[in-house]
Amino acid sequence: MTIRTSTRTLRPVLLAATMCGGIATAAIAAPLVKGPVDPSVTVAVTGEKSAYLPYVTDHGPLAASQTLAHVQVVLKRPPAMQAKLDKLALDQLDKTSPDYHHWLQPTDLRSYGPDPADIAAVKTWLKGYGITVKSVSPSGMTMDIAGSPTAIGAAFHTSLHNVTSPSGKAHIAAMTDLAIPAALEPVLRGAVLSNFFPRPNSHKVIAPQDDIGFKTEFYAVAPTDFTTIYNIKSANSGLNLYGFPFTGAGVTIALVEQTDILPADWTKFRTQFGLSKYNGTLSLVHPGGCSDPGFIGDETEAAIDVEWASVPAPDATILEASCGATSPLEFGVATALQNLVEIASPATVLSISYGGSEAGDGLLFIEAWQNLVEEGALEGKSIMISSGDSGVGADEGINISGLAVNGLSTNPYNTTLGGTDFADTSMGTTATYWSPTNGAHFGSALSYIPEIPWDNSCASSVVWQYLAFSDSLTACNTLINRKGITAARTAPPFLQEGIGGSGGQSIIYTKPSWQSAPGVPKDGVRDQPDLSLFASNGSWNHAYVICMSDPKEGGKPCDFKNPKAANLYGGTSFAAPDFAGIMALVVQGYGLVGNPAPELYAIAKAQFTNPLLAKKCNSSLGTQESTACVFNVVTVGNNAQPCLMDTPNCYATAASVNGWGVLSSDFTNEVDAFPTGPAYSLATGLGTVNVLNLLYNY
């Protein structure tokens, strides 16, 4: 769409099992809680204290008279049961296993859970503090409790305080790590007592700027552009080797949210962009009968998700599946996900576009989340999660907490989507790839377009080279003043420090056996992202168009013919639903596939080790790329970020005259985190995807 504008973590022992529907389903294990529970004999539970605590303002304990509803207590499976489930998750994706593609039903999950007597022991202990146990999840893995901050704090040996983040947002925080009765340790992990919950991964567009040489045309990505660039049109139309259209027909995609949306926006988006001729439908659901969230500040995120999931899969059934957070310690997205995987749901492809750092989220929150994602994968659901929009750190703005990855996306049971930008502006080849005028349904992309990592910062090698600096440190110390603010007179206004597609190495999860391909680091940990798609919010004259008209949430009328009125956004929030739509095409053709990541790495390994394709699938070749490529390998640029000197992972030299370094994966040399490469990279994963070829090779 061309717009003219004047501005610019594995576990041992397996139990005997009974067969249920072709799946090895275990009987519930014997009770593990032995003898009386003495609250004074405790064991420490580390990892719940958020890494954000050193940076908050403490306003003191919560009022004793307050009631905290919907606090999540995290339980754990007997080790033998967990090992059995983990093995099954691998066997379901192993073509040599008798359990290949034999999926569990939600009702099967309880047979792998804690013994009822163990759950009863936890309930009795909690009631001793005056805490109400409202419910136990269908899988038996969490409890929903309510009580006063004093009672809950006493039970878990911590204090709950009101705090404010540096950005001014109010939070509740457990001020210390937790402790639990030693007798309950076999079944109890702890409770989620801090609410530094993940946030949406979307960003409003940056206007292009004349003063650094950009042209007056802003080339927004409309649906027909996206389907052209990533070779989806032939799949949709039926003009392919299979001879029938892949449109997502018969597949249900759930966008996991915590807000309502205006359905009329989805309808208008599809009408304006030529998608209404298909039979896709949208339903707003509150899975499991959860609370209707109403309209909150995440409405733009949800609109992005439902609209763009339907672009590759216009015949798919779209569920905007949202749950409200009825307590400050409840994360609505997690509630929605739990109900989608632990209660029968027609959704077989799920997309989640929220992110927060592993260390900041808290370990108990992440463990409970990992369990839900694993349960979904065991049921054959394909779950896509965005990598995040904070580059190689967790901080938007100047980084102070070091290298970090999204805690929602780093477990081994989902596929993680990172972000790219298009390279035509920086290469000076825009006319090769975009028409100066719009065709049908606002399309102006002519072909696949070379890509670079989405990185809006001064540390981006594409940025500092374009601006004729010698290196990233010189650029950042020139472009950022001593207060950490982009210097208005010297920095291009499109710079957004700490904003870009996220990637890096987990500090929690070991590397899954399937994450193997040329370029994958031999670091022993789960690496991010798995692959990427376009995600820029305008730094190089490209962003996505959306419809979100709710003025109460910052929306405006969806007038796509008026450039000044266009709703333009970017973020890995787009990449996750985009790929969910692509996976709906795979599911339409192949049936349930579960977590696609292992298969994607196997396909990529074959491409990367093919001598011809290893050279001819370089994204920078653009129209000269081989037509046999599944992955467009991004080889130019990085997703580096600036940081404050003397903070974690921050490398600085004499060039750091204003106090700014760059995040580095090496403590003795500047190795900007993270560069692209000729195969997998921590910047863009396996690269982006040629969808028709993915269907041919899956």
Report the CATH number at residue 261: 3.40.50.200
Buried b (16+ CB within 10 A) or exposed e, 463-480: bbbbbebebbbbbbbbbb
Position 594 in a domain? yes
Helix (H) or strand (E) holding 583: helix 572-590
Last residue of a domain, one of 163, 178, 196: 196
Mean pLDDT of the 358-379 span: 96
Position 26 in a domain? no
Residue type, 43: V
Give CA–CA dist 574/580, Å, rounded: 10
Position 107 in a domain? no
419, 532 Cβ separation under 8 angstroms? yes
Q: Is the pLDDT of residue 46 over 90?
A: no
Could you please report the per-residue DSSP string of 382-411? EEEEE--SBTTBS-SSSB-S-B--BTTT-S
Mean pLDDT of the chain: 91
Give CA–CA dist 143/145, Å, rounded: 6
279, 315 Cβ separation under 8 angstroms? yes
Last residue of a domain, one of 196, 219, 254: 196
User: For residue 112, what is the DSSP state?
Assistant: G
Residue type, 360: G
Would you mind telling me the total number of residues written for the chain in this entry? 698
- Range of weakest confidence among 156-165, 348-357, 484-493, 609-618: 484-493
Q: Is the pLDDT of residue 216 over 60?
A: no
> What is the reported pLDDT for 254?
98
Residues 232 and 277 in one domain: yes
Give CA–CA dist 180/157, Å, rounded: 7
Position 651 in a domain? no
Mean pLDDT of the 90-106 span: 97
Q: Is the pLDDT of residue 22 over 60?
A: no
Residues 189 and 309 in one domain: no
Give CA–CA dist 272/589, Å, rounded: 28
Mean pLDDT of the 471-499 span: 79
More confident: 124 or 484: 124
Helix (H) or strand (E) holding 19: strand 18-20
672, 424 Cβ separation under 8 angstroms? no
Residues 501 and 537 in one domain: yes
Q: Is the pLDDT of residue 17 over 90?
A: no
User: For residue 538, what is the DSSP state?
Assistant: S
Our measurement of the distance from residue 407's CA atom to the centroid of its chain's CA atoms, rounded to an integer in Å, reads 9
597, 520 Cβ separation under 8 angstroms? no
Position 663 in a domain? no
Neighbours of 557 (CB within 10 A): 11
Quote the tokens at residue 147.
Answer: 């009580």
Could you please report the per-residue DSSP string of 407-472? TTT-STTSEEEEEEEE-HHHHT-HHHHB-SS--GGG--B-S---EEE-B-STT-HHHHHHTT-SSH
Residue 432, Cβ density class (10 Å: 0-12 exposed, 13-18 middle, ≥19 buried):
middle
- Indicate the number of domains in the chain: 2
Residues 180 and 328 in one domain: no
* Domain with 37 in it: 31-78+113-196
Quote the tokens at residue 253.
Answer: 């995609």
User: For residue 104, what is the DSSP state?
Assistant: P
601, 686 Cβ separation under 8 angstroms? yes
Give CA–CA dist 152/302, Å, rounded: 33
User: For residue 624, what is the DSSP state?
Assistant: G
> What is the reported pLDDT for 28?
62
Closest by alpha carbon to 549, among 299, 246, 286? 299
Quickly state the pLDDT bin for 97 (edges 50, 70, 90).
very high
User: Helix (H, G, I), strand (E, B), or coil: what is residue 320?
Assistant: strand
Q: Is the pLDDT of residue 27 over 50?
A: yes
Mean pLDDT of the 265-281 span: 97
Residue type, 521: P
Residues 173 and 260 in one domain: no
Q: Name residues whose C-beta falls within 8 Å of residue 429's C-beta, 6 or more positions apart in sequence.
A: 423, 450, 622
Position 470 in a domain? no
Question: 487-537: per-residue pLDDT in tens?
Answer: 655 566 678 899 999 999 999 999 999 999 999 999 999 999 999 999 999
Mean pLDDT of the 670-698 span: 94
Whole-angstrom distance between the N-terminal and C-terminal Cα of the chain?
31
Residues 152 and 225 in one domain: no
Neighbours of 11 (CB within 10 A): 15
- Range of weakest confidence among 165-169, 223-227, 257-261, 318-322: 165-169
Give CA–CA dist 392/389, Å, rounded: 9
Position 336 in a domain? yes
Residues 188 and 218 in one domain: no
Residues 140 and 210 in one domain: no
Residues 553 and 627 in one domain: yes
Residue 674 backbone phi and psi in degrees, to 5 = -135, 145
> What is the reported pLDDT for 564?
67
Quickly state the pLDDT bin for 401 (edges 50, 70, 90).
confident
For the entire predicted model, the pTM comes to 0.94
Last residue of a domain, one of 153, 172, 196: 196
Query: Residue 676 half-sphere exposure, CB side, CA atoms within 13 Å?
Result: 30
> What is the reported pLDDT for 395?
78
SS3 per residue for 638-687:
ECCCEEECCCCCEECCCCCCCCEEEEECCCCCCCECCECCCCCECCCECC
Q: Is the pLDDT of residue 127 over 60?
A: yes
User: Helix (H, G, I), strand (E, B), or coil: what is residue 57?
Assistant: strand
> What is the reported pLDDT for 23?
53
User: Helix (H, G, I), strand (E, B), or coil: what is residue 24?
Assistant: strand
Residues 184 and 207 in one domain: no
Neighbours of 144 (CB within 10 A): 18
Residue type, 116: P
Neighbours of 297 (CB within 10 A): 12
Q: Give residue for tokens 């779950």.
A: 383
Position 351 in a domain? yes
Residues 293 and 210 in one domain: yes
Q: What percent of the chain has pLDDT over 90?
A: 82
Closest by alpha carbon to 693, among 606, 594, 570, 572? 606
344, 138 Cβ separation under 8 angstroms? no
- Range of weakest confidence among 31-40, 392-401, 453-462, 618-627: 392-401
Mean pLDDT of the 371-393 span: 97
> What is the reported pLDDT for 21?
41
Closest by alpha carbon to 261, among 633, 65, 550? 550
Residues 217 and 155 in one domain: no
